[in-house]
Amino acid sequence: MLIKRPDDIKSGEITDKELYLNRRQFIRTASLGAAGLGSGLLIPGLLGPLGEARGATKLTGTGKSAFSTDEPQTPLKDITGYNNFYEFGTDKSDPKRYSDSLKTRPWTVVVEGEVNKPRTFDIDEMLKMPLEERVYRLRCVEAWSMVVPWIGFELSHLIKAVEPTANAKYIQFVTLHDPEQMPGQRRGVLDWPYVEGLRMDEAMNPLTILGVGLYGEVMPNQNGAPIRVVVPWKYGFKSIKSIVKIRFVEKEPPTAWNVAAPQEYGFYSNVNPTVNHPRWSQASERRIGDFFRRKTLMFNGYEEQVAHLYKGMDLTKLY
Ligand SMILES: Nc1nc2c(c(=O)[nH]1)N[C@H]1C(S)=C(S)[C@@H](COP(=O)(O)O)O[C@H]1N2
Ligand SMILES: [Mo]
């Protein structure tokens, strides 16, 4: 009998994922591990409703992109089973276990601030944007990485649609704040809601996408359904999940991890092997599924596309 390894299986053939999504159970209360670590030990990802039961929903008509890497893709079970999403707990296994309580319909994203055309987008409108598959590396500051076949559209499309004013220098993103659906928000692990930000040119870069799915299907809850940011040259924590608001602002906005531990996490948070985290090295990483560690690449390997954004900046200070 021929047994295919996950790497050999085309996304259309994958059924374990479908089974998994169908088997999702309704969990109202999530008992979160009492493993909150004290401040000074804050690590994005180390710290420690009723969703609709849905079958796997295919996202059709997604084009392939020249920006994609052809490195082997991380198996779906790892992408959906090893997550940082503190709104559902601080263990890597918590988001998969507890995120059924997230209700992803109806869902709107409010776009406001320094724009000529403020607007509220319904998620189903956003799914009509030109969707592409983008196979990107995602690297966590904890020094592990994955290769994820995201489905999404360029954030620049949305930005152009709302016409930023000349005062729009940064964009802030805000995650849903609802402790009923997100039981992790009942604990003060972070200042809720989770917030993140990008400078306008970073947001406009064609690599920056709003992700709405992966492996050809709608975004699993634990990966930030129904819509999240994916910025492939920055540490994973910049890629904020389950966003409900996009705000155009003049000044550098606060970001969740910078607020939680400013001595450890800056605003830019570019993947940079030459700037270590104060408590551990960033020079190498463990690709999930690999045995040997590999060297971390400048800007996570996207140097050619983004290095120009940081010309003249001292990245050891503006990390
Ligand atoms: N709202 C929210 N977004 C978040 C996080 C979070 O805890 N809450 N964790 C971040 C971190 S630390 C990482 S590494 C990535 C992980 O994304 P993934 O679970 O899809 O791999 O999500 C980021 N986005
Ligand atoms: Mo992370």
* pLDDT tens readout for residues 220-273: 999 999 999 999 999 999 999 999 999 999 999 999 999 999 999 999 999 999
Domains of the chain, start order? 64-310 (3.90.420.10)
Position 131 scores a pLDDT of 95
| Percent of the chain whose predicted confidence (pLDDT) is above 70 | 83
CA atoms within 13 A on the CB side of 133: 19
| Residue 49, pLDDT above cutoff 50 | no
Q: Is 88 in the pocket of ligand 1 (CB under 6 A)?
A: no
Taking Cα atoms as reference points, which of 60, 90, 99 lies closest to residue 212?
A: 60
Q: Which residues contact 103 (CB under 8 A, 6 or more apart)?
A: 49, 50, 51, 52, 181
Nearest CA to ligand 1 atom 10: 237
Q: Where are the alpha helices (DSSP H) in 12-75?
A: 16-22
Condensed to tens digits (0 to 9), the pLDDT of residues 70-112 reads 999 999 999 999 999 999 999 999 999 999 999 999 999 999 9
pLDDT classification of 63: cutoffs 50, 70, 90? confident
Q: Is 234 in the pocket of ligand 1 (CB under 6 A)?
A: no
Nearest CA to ligand 1 atom 8: 85
Q: Is 145 in the pocket of ligand 1 (CB under 6 A)?
A: no
Give the mutation target among 84, 91, 134 for probing the ligand 1 site: most ligand atoms within 8 A of CB.
84
Rounded distance from Cα 57 to ligand 1 centre (Å): 22
**What number does the ligand 1 atom closest to the CA of 190 have?**
7
Side chain identity at 157, as an amino acid letter? H
**What number does the ligand 1 atom closest to the CA of 44 have?**
12
Q: What is the pTM of this model?
A: 0.86
Q: What are phi and psi of 101, to 5 degrees?
A: -75, -10
CA distance 36 to 58: 37
